[in-house]
Structure 1
């Protein structure tokens, strides 16, 4: 059974949860217990909150840490919905109706906060309880809450006004919640009916905060158009329809025969077929100019790019593609990661753990996979003509959050560069992005630096090794002088033929503009494709 709300109980629950925020929980727990909770360790939090009867402490103990509490404590912390209302909503179960009878949560619920283009959002998200609370492996129909992968996808999604957004594999509905802030219509699909019920619960609970910017101040809920929830696998529930934006944290985990499978992470397609299916088929569900962004795993056979290139070449509709590999694990690391994720451990079930572990090793060895990659896939259907972008790169460093504005800016810069000749680029005045710095290294007695780095503070945090000419050009890009004027001045200063100087600088300048280190005049603010 999953929770369900009607309008009155949703309003009562919102009122009871008011003030129970990420910041409030962090202040309550302190650094040590908050960090432990981030690792799905609940004991430090239980110790810290044990003596407090403040509503935030009670809510945290009940819904997040999994403590059993007296009914009187729950009624005090939730005066509007009360323990009885929470039982009817499927949130808790109660041993009886006496004040001392225990109440236990049936769900995991916790505050959620994220930084968006419009500022910070504060919601509450319900999902199934994890093994840190239940003490056992998760069930096959487990509905996952907000984890690292879903937070990453929310961060990298390119926002901006959209007519229709598809959240494919919605789970608890976190991507659909984000999409509601900038889309006229949200369609959310999942193979799991249980997940769709959780998504609807979270939508109703947070409805007044969705689309509030476009609503009348006295009736913020009026701007929210209810989601269309559809049950089914992959793109089947939306066959024949198109969207401006598709986001997906799909069930991309590669689960070999003989290993436990779970709906929230296993799409029922062999090997890395989930990602292959999306890359090859998602174009048909995109409007011209529309984008699809999703996370995925893929087998690596030699060069990690080869397999993805083959899928892109086989796509039904040719697409612009930008794929960033964030990590790669060998078969043993992969098995350990995903067995632990499901609460399957050697101490709990020695024979089951050993059998599943060996199944991973056999499957990847039989497939000839060197490793398993994880990354971010961004695909775009061209407005017209053939694709102009295919960029596959590995990047394991830190990323700014949200990253979506940077991705949107980079795609807009790519489009401008694709339509701009070298002569036109030379006639353009550029500006150094405000987050860019120059670093020099070398012996103190050496007149010229041995190494010059042009470093990006945001985005992907790129570091570009520059020679004296490129560093000089970047330093002179003040929005007044054109690239050509600066290049000719550098040629005279460094006593290099102008043609050679321009020939060396133009490709480097294109890279710097594409990646946002140099800004063209029309790119002083973020542009959405």
Structure 2
């Protein structure tokens, strides 16, 4: 566990790491593509072999802070001239007996890309299973994982304002939020996690991030924020003796109640127009669909905020049966599949799901927005299981919210007077039966965003294909109705609701 961070030592360490070029690209070049792929599978052996064979000073630091291996003190001291081994010890990052230096924490470079550009942070966290060689301790502070990067990419890049990072962990969401926000308040039930958040902010020279200790919204009672971001401890863990409860992923409540509480209390902590974004799991029970459960939680959040309207956009990305879900998270804790301990934990998980009537568990993204008075609410609950490129999703969500607001403020007659343009990443595919003159299926395919495939009839395909910004929607519909020999008013009633959906999807956009 690291110590309370000192600004001077963090600055010295940052200078040493900069001088070494301790970056993701440098490390990948040192250990090579096959080793990088092996790390993704949880195997450090190829990378370890490559680093031990290298005389590059950055390889020595990577052995210590990336892989968690001890290194010779006399070799480390010259490559950390500003911090020194003593300084690393004062920060709580290492311990040394004078001959070997052993890590007490990981420090790994983490590259990022957002609307403001590219960059890289160093992210410190507790030693992971690669370094420990076994199961994680319950108070483990997690580094940057796949879920962390997903949520970071989803963050809506709204400039200025205040952000609450609920359950900050190592502080990666706070760092990402601070790229656009004026200030960030990070909370966590773990004091160690808050130390890592402070340390990582200082190490990367990021100001404007404050921390408070406490569970969920307790540290911010009565306060409101322009944005809330949370990767909460959403994993559904049996409340049984012998089943470890990891602080970084387990909120201590039964089933999906932790995510329910985060959602249900979000509305009262948002300013007008404020946005909350989180990841979560939700259960499918005998009597309730998973997305219907989340819909009910959103209603509870609106009620808790004195009836304030809440926009909701919930996207389920994955659904697992109880066995697959349990196996995934047991492995995540470092327990080896096939071992007696693994089988015992799996049995406890499956009994818990069976006792509570859980048939499946969903995972996905939740976006809530405290509606501005007069705006019709957004209510989207959908399943998107196909692969998507998560880069740029935050900007896509921001554009989708703006498009929803603009089209919702227009009645059909007003919408018909607007000029629209089809997005540059949209293509059309037509499928014909052998020998048929007309297509049996027409698809509009989106390259970016959520990579949607929209099935279109001839009229909708013609309208989308004609949206080049020159003529208004009404004129285009009338012309298409003439060509198809159908009633123009009927075609307008049919197409305008689809146009509204395509605007929110980002397949069409308004011409200014």
Asked if TM exceeds 0.5, the reply is yes
Residue 278 (structure 2) pairs with residue 289 (structure 1)? no
Alignment check: 8 A CA contact 2:331 2:337 kept: no
Residue 14 (structure 2) pairs with residue 28 (structure 1)? no
Q: What is the match of residue 464 of structure 2?
A: 474
Question: How far off its partner does 1:386 sit?
Answer: 7.2
* Partner of residue 151 from structure 2, selected from 147, 150, 153: 153
Question: How far off its partner does 1:489 sit?
Answer: 0.8
Q: Partners of 1:385 and 1:364 in 2: how far apart?
A: 43
Q: What is the match of residue 379 of structure 1?
A: 368
Listed one character per residue, the Cα deviations across residues 170-205 of structure 1 (whole Å, up to 9, x for unaligned) are 000000111111111110000000111111110110
- Unpaired runs of 5+ residues, structure 1, are 211-223, 523-529
Q: Partners of 1:12 and 1:360 in 2: how far apart?
A: 46
Question: How far off its partner does 1:22 sit?
Answer: 1.3
- What secondary structure is seen at the aligned counterpart in 1 of 2:358? coil
Alignment check: 8 A CA contact 1:3 1:201 kept: no
Q: Partners of 2:132 and 2:249 in 1: how far apart?
A: 19
Q: Partners of 2:495 and 2:264 in 1: how far apart?
A: 37
TM-score, normalised to structure 1, is: 0.92
Listed one character per residue, the Cα deviations across residues 480-509 of structure 1 (whole Å, up to 9, x for unaligned) are 111111111111111112122212211221
* Partner of residue 505 from structure 1, selected from 495, 499, 508: 495
* Partner of residue 364 from structure 1, selected from 350, 353, 364: 353
Q: What is the match of residue 93 of structure 1?
A: 95
Alignment of 1:253-272 (within 5 A): 253-258=235-240, 259-272=243-256
Alignment of 1:415-426 (within 5 A): 415-426=405-416
Kindly report the root-mean-square deviation, in angstroms, between the aligned alpha carbons of the 2 structures. 1.5
Alignment check: 8 A CA contact 1:257 1:359 kept: no
Q: What is the match of residue 203 of structure 1?
A: 201
Q: Which moved more, 1:104-113 or 1:436-445?
A: 436-445
Question: How far off its partner does 1:291 sit?
Answer: 0.6
Alignment of 1:41-440 (within 5 A): 41-96=43-98, 101-207=99-205, 210=206, 224-225=207-208, 227-258=209-240, 259-301=243-285, 302-315=288-301, 316-317=304-305, 318-346=309-337, 350=340, 352-385=341-374, 388-400=377-389, 401-440=391-430
Q: Partners of 2:160 and 2:261 in 1: how far apart?
A: 24
Alignment check: 8 A CA contact 1:157 1:404 kept: yes
Alignment check: 8 A CA contact 1:157 1:293 kept: yes
Alignment check: 8 A CA contact 1:54 1:77 kept: no
Question: How far off its partner does 1:387 sit?
Answer: 5.8
Question: How far off its partner does 1:356 sit?
Answer: 2.0
Alignment check: 8 A CA contact 1:432 1:518 kept: yes
Listed one character per residue, the Cα deviations across residues 351-378 of structure 1 (whole Å, up to 9, x for unaligned) are x333321111111111111101111000
Alignment check: 8 A CA contact 2:15 2:82 kept: yes
Q: What is the match of residue 12 of structure 1?
A: 12
Listed one character per residue, the Cα deviations across residues 230-253 of structure 1 (whole Å, up to 9, x for unaligned) are 110010000000000000000111
Q: Partners of 1:140 and 1:420 in 2: how far apart?
A: 53
TM-score, normalised to structure 2, is: 0.95
Listed one character per residue, the Cα deviations across residues 205-247 of structure 1 (whole Å, up to 9, x for unaligned) are 001xx3xxxxxxxxxxxxx33x221110010000000000000
Q: Partners of 2:79 and 2:430 in 1: how far apart?
A: 58
Question: How far off its partner does 1:344 sit?
Answer: 2.0
Q: Partners of 1:77 and 1:387 in 2: how far apart?
A: 60
Q: Partners of 2:167 and 2:111 in 1: how far apart?
A: 21
Alignment check: 8 A CA contact 2:280 2:366 kept: yes
Q: What is the match of residue 219 of structure 1?
A: none
Q: Partners of 2:338 and 2:498 in 1: how far apart?
A: 55
